Amino acid sequence: MTDISDQEVFDRQPGASIDRDNIHFFRGLLQRTLLINRCQDCQAWFQPPGPLCPVCWSDNIRPTEVSGRGTLHSVTFIHGGPTPPGGYPIAVIELEEQQGLRASATIIDCEKDDIRIGMPVELAWTERNGEPLPAFRPKG
């Protein structure tokens, strides 16, 4: 995997609110890697990215790749704009790395009527405007 410069992260994601605490998250997206901050002192994972661990207040933080496996915690369907019939699913996934660690993304490869709270899911990727975005699909 090639290194992506800070400037390229900004250039390829002009609408994103990128700062020093979350630039690694956005760089990971461009490399199709889901990075979540993890405290290197107490090992707590936390999202959204920030400069200090919310558990022990350490600044010894490292963006770390997660497995991408989890459980559907909640879902809502967006009905505005060019959405598919029945709406566009936006889900909150509880990641297996830690209870309460959650990521938001869309659900793909699943009919609306088959989406269920508690459903095991895995990380997948989709694209918007040519840029990779995390998504989740039912674990097969």
pTM, to two decimals: 0.88
Residue 89: DSSP 8-state: E
Q: What is the pLDDT of residue 2?
A: 59
Tokens standing for residue 94 = 């509880």
In the three-class reduction of DSSP (H, G, I as helix; E, B as strand; rest coil), residue 58 is classed as coil
Count Cα atoms within 13 angstroms, Cβ side, for 39.
Answer: 19
Structural domains of the chain ordered from first start: 1-65 (no CATH), 67-140 (2.40.50)
Task: Report the candidate in 86, 108, 105 with the shortest Cα–Cα distance to residue 94.
Answer: 105
pLDDT tens, per residue, the chain with 140 residues: 458 999 999 999 988 999 999 999 999 999 999 999 999 999 999 999 999 999 999 999 999 999 999 999 999 998 887 777 777 899 999 999 999 999 999 999 999 999 999 999 999 999 988 889 999 999 97
